[in-house]
Amino acid sequence: EIVLTQSPGTLSLSPGERATLSCRASQSVSGSQLAWFQQKPGQAPRLLIYGASIRAPGIPDRFSGSGSGTDFTLTISSLEPEDFAVYYCQQYGSSPGTFGQGTKVEIK
């Protein structure tokens, strides 16, 4: 199975700053079938990005995804207070689908 490694584990930033999150795959992700999710305490994950770079319906344009092959990035251009959460990448191109271990974006 494909192992996804996210870095950093924790990102300490202030509102208004730019956040850059990394997801590296142990092998190439088929068809760039990679998604990003946001999760807040006590809530289910929320789909942000799929197909590596396509924003899900209703997701603000401050969220963007990029990458292909084995290296992917989620960028939040200017952090809003509601963006402080844990972010997960997930590949769904190869079975079994797998998730990264998460990056926590916390208020500095």
Of 15, 6, 14, nearest to 72 by C-alpha is: 6
For 34-70, strand residue ranges (E) read 34-39, 46-50, 54-55, 63-68
- Judged by CB under 8 A, the stretch of 9-17, 18-26, 63-71, 99-107 that binds another protein is 99-107
Single residue of 2, 45, 67, 87 touching another protein by CB under 8 A = 45
Of 52, 64, 42, 62, nearest to 4 by C-alpha is: 52
- In three-state secondary structure terms, 45 is coil
**73 is a site residue for another protein (CB under 8 A):** no
**59 is a site residue for another protein (CB under 8 A):** no
Rounded to whole angstroms, the Cα distance separating 85 from 107 reads: 9
**50 is a site residue for another protein (CB under 8 A):** yes
Say how many residues touch another protein, by CB under 8 A.
23
Q: How far is the CB of 43 from another protein (least distance, A)?
A: 8
Residues that bind another protein (CB under 8 A): 1, 33, 35, 37, 43-47, 50-51, 56-57, 88, 90, 92, 95-99, 101-102
